[in-house]
Amino acid sequence: MMKKLIAFVVMALPLFAFAQKDIDQRVEEIMAKMTIEDKIGQLNQMDGRRDLEQIKKEVREGTLSSIMNIVDPAVTNELQRIAIEESPAGIPLLFARDVVHGFNTVLPIPLGQAASWDEELIEKASRNTALEATERGIRWAFAPMMDIARDARWGRIAESFGEDTYMAGRLATAVVRGYQGNSLSDQTSMAACAKHFVGYGDAEGGRDYNTTSIPPRTLRDVYLPPFKACVDEGCASIMTSFNDNDGLPSTGNRWLLTELLREQWGFEGVVVSDWGSVAGLIPHGVAYDKRDAAHQCIEAGCDVDMSSRSYLLNLKELIESGEVDMAVLDEAVRRVLRLKVALGLFEQPYARTTEKSDIYSESVLATACRLAEESVVMLKNEGEVLPLLPEKVKRVLVVGPMADAPYDQMGTWALDGDKTHTVTPIAAIREDWAKKVEIDYIPCLTHPRDRSTAEFARMQEAARKADVVVAFVGEEQMMSGEAHSLSSLDLQGAQGDMLEALAEVETPLVTVFMAGRPLTIARQVEISDAILYAWHPGTMGGKALANILFGEVSPSGKLPATFPRNVGQIPIYYNHKHTSHRAKGTEGNLDSIPREAYQSVMGHTSSYLDVAPSPLFPFGYGLSYTTFELSDIKIEKTAVTPDESIKVSVLLTNTGRREGTEVVQLYTGRKTASVTQPMKELKEFQRVTLGAGECRRVEFEVPVSRLAFHNRDMVLAVEEGKYTLTIGTDSQTGLKTYFKITK
């Protein structure tokens, strides 16, 4: 054992000495000593949740390059030792994990993080996540996910940053910066992975893994820009998506992975398939078997085969037969080795050690709590029921299945979260407020799908004695996420009936939703006095909600996705295109239409007969415990050229009685262009905190190049003409001005 360890040290020293040399030179030196079997092994990634002895055998044989889902440093270090000392090429392993929204300390789901509109805080929280994960030996995280999601039936909307292209790119790059830090070689840094490339969020009918039919112009203007932003940010890797688009599965799409990603965008990092998606070409119907699938995907530009072993079993034969050129294999291997060298694995291959653990540390938990606070969106506050100030509220009844659901509260992809560390709402309320307010607690339902009404009578009796009722409802963890699509977005189980029973009592009702997606909550909004939408808020979600409910913190979240009135409105999103028959906003009342009208064409608008064309809540919407007013919009120049910036400002005044934070949003729009355009598009935003009565001029500078789109000739360009510019506090309201783009 000691001789082998000494041999490794001797081998590693020259690599350490070359640390300042060009990474490519180091990679060529490594590759010069590799056999074809060694090279193919570097493209094989497998799950670690298998028999450990079998994994050790594969590592010794050099048939594993990276391993997912092992988070025990003792195990990762032992496997790493075997790779370095006993495998043919002695190349370190790379340990990977779906680190989607926090590691041990679980953050709000990404859709919830997006509701904060706070990229700096998201970056800070992501850096903390990297600190926790790297303690466990994880150096490759399969996040961020920036799929544009406009269908809440799709379970993986929870992992997205919502429906807007600009926001998704801006927040995804914040995660990349947080995970990768100042240098990948820092042992506290993880390689980020932008996913899923591309169009996965547009799965037909919201059914996970399904086909997409995204036209080339929409693909380039809506779905690709967040990935381009991550490439420009230096994201180390990109993951392909399960879906096909226009008949081509992403993992085998050469135009997407080579011509666009590498040749046009200049991406030099690793492309990894999603789980089994190389072999997924077979059920897609474009490959006969794994050999055919491996051939197509390696030629397309997919470097690493996640879990299907298609490359491992077939690439050597494909190369020996001349069907795949050796140069194709070498390029893929170079990219994998570049990442391992950049991560410093040849010098520091083992899990990092620290005198004081960052896992569940005070600072990490504090940041998670702050992000959870900023993620909460207040949708209604009739009669200023909130906050629950002790001077006006003496007795509070807490009910509902999500009031004490430590596992469900963490949401999807909380693989490493420990529910014993979760602070639930009832726990936080009792700890922080039981001495000031009398707290009654009746869960009423054991979980969100519970249909029992046995506790309703007792709940109603307690509600009559209370000054206010706070009901925690929503979705359990398994109701959203991968392979968890829904055809109905109504509350599950007897939760709706529970709220109806509470409304009968007429005690003020505060309803708190904890869910992985926008739900159809029109009836609950109607019968509740106040509504907080907290998403799945993670480890510190209960503390964050208690702080908001009792007025320690004013809500500041804004919706990152449009809320439909009913599921039939889907897809519904704010930046829809201009149409020839635009809805007026008055349609949708079927009962008001006289019977004789059914015999003729009515309205001549793009709308439904039975529901208003407007959403329940628009993108960007959210209330505060104070009020804000926008005034005096000023634009510096009403005519700008494509190489200039639009400089505009607005006066923001806190017109309420307490400090608060507003998210000021800037939208542009154009009615006439060479191709149809969205009604408006988000182009910039700022979080602004003001004291009571304070006034501040908020300034924006937007590069005109940000207004480019793919024109009739499919060229990305800024077109001349007249544009609208709206500054508001959501996507439907605001102050408007105009400007022209000229040559």
What confidence score (pLDDT) does residue 428 get?
98
What confidence score (pLDDT) does residue 21 get?
59
* Residue in 202, 274, 358, 416 annotated catalytic: 274
160-178: pLDDT as tens digits: 999 999 999 999 999 999 9
The span from the CA of 597 to the CA of 611, in Å, is 17
Q: For 130-150, give one letter per residue: b (16+ CB within 10 A) or e.
A: bbbbbbbbbbbbbbbbbbbbb
Lookup: tokens for 234:
């230096």
What confidence score (pLDDT) does residue 595 get?
67
Q: What is the pLDDT of the chain when averaged over all its residues?
A: 95
What confidence score (pLDDT) does residue 17 get?
31
Cβ atoms < 10 Å from Cβ of 718: 18
- Any catalytic annotation for residue 274? yes
Type of residue found at 333: V
Contacts of 510 (CB under 8 A, 6+ apart): 385, 386, 388, 468, 469, 470, 471, 528, 529, 530, 531, 532, 549
116-136: pLDDT as tens digits: 999 999 999 999 999 999 999
The span from the CA of 724 to the CA of 669, in Å, is 5
The span from the CA of 601 to the CA of 698, in Å, is 47
Give percent above pLDDT 90 in the chain: 92
The span from the CA of 560 to the CA of 159, in Å, is 12
User: Can you name the residues that pair with 531 across neighbouring β-strands?
Assistant: 380, 511
Out of 176-180, 600-604, 674-678, least confident range: 600-604
The span from the CA of 293 to the CA of 287, in Å, is 5
Question: What are the structural domain ranges in the chain?
Answer: 2-97+192-342, 375-549, 628-741
What confidence score (pLDDT) does residue 19 get?
46
Which is it for the CA torsion 293, 294, 300, 302, positive or negative?
positive
Does the structural domain 628-741 have CATH classification 2.30.30.60? Answer: no
- Residue 606: pLDDT band (50, 70, 90) is confident
Type of residue found at 288: Y
What confidence score (pLDDT) does residue 2 get?
33
Average pLDDT of span 617-632: 98
276-298: pLDDT as tens digits: 999 999 999 999 999 999 999 99
Element (H, E) at 281: helix 281-284
Q: What angle do CA 278, 284, 285 make, to 5 degrees?
A: 110
The span from the CA of 651 to the CA of 120, in Å, is 23
Average pLDDT of span 42-64: 98
CATH of domain 2-97+192-342: 3.20.20.300
Residue 3 has pLDDT above 70, yes or no: no
Contacts of 588 (CB under 8 A, 6+ apart): 607, 608, 609, 610, 611, 612, 613
- In which order are the strands placed within the sheet that holds 377-381? 377-381, 530-533, 509-514, 468-474, 395-399, 438-442
- Residue 20: pLDDT band (50, 70, 90) is very low
What confidence score (pLDDT) does residue 600 get?
59
What confidence score (pLDDT) does residue 14 get?
32
- Residue 626: pLDDT band (50, 70, 90) is very high
Average pLDDT of span 324-347: 97
Cβ atoms < 10 Å from Cβ of 127: 20
- Residue 6: pLDDT band (50, 70, 90) is very low
CATH of domain 375-549: 3.40.50.1700
- Residue 473: asked if its preceding bond is cis (omega within 30°), the reply is no
647-672: pLDDT as tens digits: 999 999 999 999 999 999 999 999 89
pTM for this prediction? 0.96
